[in-house]
Amino acid sequence: MENEQKEKIEKFLHSKGILKELRRVAAAGRKSLVITFERLLEFDMGLAKHLLDSPSDFFNTAGLLLEGITKIPGLRLRVAGLDKSTVVHNVHAEHVGKFIQVEGILTRSSEVKPEVTEAVFRCRRCGEENRILQVGDLFREPLICENPNCGGKNAFDFVVESTAFRDWQSLCLQEPPETLRGGRMPRRLDCIVRDDFVDKAVPGNHVVITGVLRVVREGRRHERKKTFRKILFVSHNEVLQKGVEEAELTPDDNAKIKELAKDPWIRNKIIQSIAPSIYGYEAIKEAIALQLFGSESVDLFDGTRIRGDIHVLLTGDPGTAKSQLLKWAANAAPRGLYTSGPKASGVGLTAATVRDELSGSWSLEAGAMVIADGGLAAIDELDKMDPKESNALLEALEQQTVSVAKAGIVATLNTRTALLAGANPKHGRWEPNLNFSEQINIDPVLLSRFDIFFVVRDVPTPDGDRAVAEHIANLHISRKLPTRPPMSTDFLRKVIIYSRKNLDPKLSKEAAKVATDFFVEWRGNAKSQGNPVPIAIRQYEGIIRLAKANARMGLSDRVTVEDANRAITLIKRSLQEAGVDVETGKHDIDILMTGKSKSQHDKVKRIYEIIKELEGEHGGAAPIDEVKRITGEEGISSSFVNQT
């Protein structure tokens, strides 16, 4: 049987097409010949089955034959493209020793290390060089000299210059967020890749990997545990350019969605289908819907990029369903991930270098924003995140990349992700007499990266309280909504996929004029001396993003005046809640950009002027009591002076 399979492999490798490709491989100096499984199947079905059932025998035989044909040592045959992929959580004991294909997101990659394939040792006694083929995981050394006239024992020098090495790298594959429903934890699978397929992918890449599943004993060698660890030894690794747009829709799905596009109330129906079990919050639900649909990023001629993803921040009183909204959005998104700031994995929200379990060296591991690349990241309690994450998150939100330079690893990972974040007020409940940035423990520079802000208040009103209470009671009694939402979450997800896959709405001149007129009009209010700047260019860019997302939500390829007006309404509401100086009642974008309103900046400036004047009068330090007396006469409180 073995000879029969060997003859089939040899015949396959000597076929006309393969020999032609081998010549190309040799000319290019490559170490691998890549074939598709379909090609092997067409040549001989039995040989293809032999690969699946006995991959080690198949590849060992193919490797020896390839070396004989090409005279290139270490030339490998790699097989790509099995008929179907196995998800990580379905890789079980039955797959051990088999050739399988697994699809997922790469979350960790180690540095590339040299691995010995054939070691050379020089006998200290006679100088004879002994060659030891390195098979398995442990380094093998000679016990006795191969020279029959010597017989020296345990007296050898390792000859690095004559030893054969190959590149080695460990990877970690994780189930993609879009396959996780119902709160199931993602499973991981360790992988090992060698030779010219190292560094083919970086953390955050969506990959499909073929390889041989093997096991190694867990724990230390002397413990002799009965359980083993699964490791996929990679044959082929392909990076997929796969966002939510690549998900497959059936012809029936496409027909239903095209029919839906004719409905003039499509936007309202989508908004009503957002988190239907949560009562009210129409504006927040509209913002979440726009996040899910998103807009295309714009790559400019000079290499810069304008992001298309929309970032939303929810804050306010406890018990107002903020976390539930985040969890619903992460579950409904075609690719969504939910995590909590203080409970994020050891690598945090972006990326970090960690110790690799297989090699013991430093490796690069992706955080939540990288794993959710191309989708939505819902991060709760953003105000409690590690302060060290703040700078990395700045880059992740605006530039949509994360740069890592640590422990000899330098890399840039993609974070093309819409962020829906939740945060709690510093003082437990929202204080209407304090400015937005004073109540939330988030760096103002980070706050400025968000497009929309919502403050969720728990204000008692008899009618509102009764409506919410009856809504919740009905959920407990009948376990269903009093009125059915226009779309199921599954169908809404398909609409989002269709829209993102097929539509890139173009901004009409009329819509652009509406957005520009609004921006210029609001900015014009700042011309009067002493007035704060109410809106910045970032909010204008936000209007464009929201308008494009509105068009996508309406399944349209053109941004209309209506889309622009809806975007402006959301921005105005957001600035009313987060960008108004409570002291003056005026819109002031400095609250979000710098953390202080213009009136506060003016007070600080006046305090410094008074201190400088008093220093001149007293020939040195200004008396604090005198500073407080003068500032008090000008309406500046002692507490503000102390803070300054």
Q: What is the pLDDT of residue 451?
A: 93
Closest CA to 575 of 381, 435, 446, 457: 435
Closest CA to 294 of 91, 500, 31: 500
In contact, 567 and 550? CB cutoff 8 Å: yes
Distance separating alpha carbons of residues 353 and 176, to the nearest angstrom: 21
Residues 443-486 pLDDT 10s: 888 888 999 999 988 777 777 667 777 777 777 776 666 668 88
Q: Distance from CA of residue 294 to its chain's centroid?
A: 16
Return the structure tokens found at 77. 């045959």
Alpha helix stretches (DSSP H) within 315-461: 322-332, 368-371, 387-398, 444-447
Q: What is the pLDDT of residue 481?
A: 64
Return the structure tokens found at 523. 């900015």
How long is the chain?
644
Residues 229-259 pLDDT 10s: 899 999 999 888 655 555 678 889 999 999 9
Give the three-state DSSP class for 230.
strand
Q: Quote the strand ranges of 343-486, DSSP E.
A: 351-355, 362-366, 376-380, 401-406, 409-414, 418-423, 452-456
DSSP state at residue 533: P
Return the structure tokens found at 214. 């093997």
Residue reference for tokens 């009125």? 483
Closest CA to 546 of 289, 298, 302: 289
Q: What is the pLDDT of residue 223?
A: 64
In contact, 476 and 528? CB cutoff 8 Å: no
**Backbone φ and ψ of 172, nearest 5°:** -130, 125
Element of type H or E holding 587: none
Element of type H or E holding 312: strand 312-316
Distance separating alpha carbons of residues 298 and 69, to the nearest angstrom: 50
Q: What is the pLDDT of residue 634?
A: 65
The pTM score is 0.80
Count of helix runs (H) and strand runs (E) in the chain: 21, 23
For the chain (length 644 residues), average pLDDT per consecutive 10? 80 85 84 89 90 91 86 86 87 91 88 89 88 82 87 86 89 80 74 89 87 81 74 90 64 92 92 89 94 87 83 90 91 86 63 68 77 88 78 82 73 86 88 88 89 86 72 71 81 93 92 94 76 88 95 94 95 91 86 81 74 72 73 69 65
Angle at 582 between CA 579 and CA 585, to 5 degrees: 80
Q: What is the pLDDT of residue 346?
A: 44
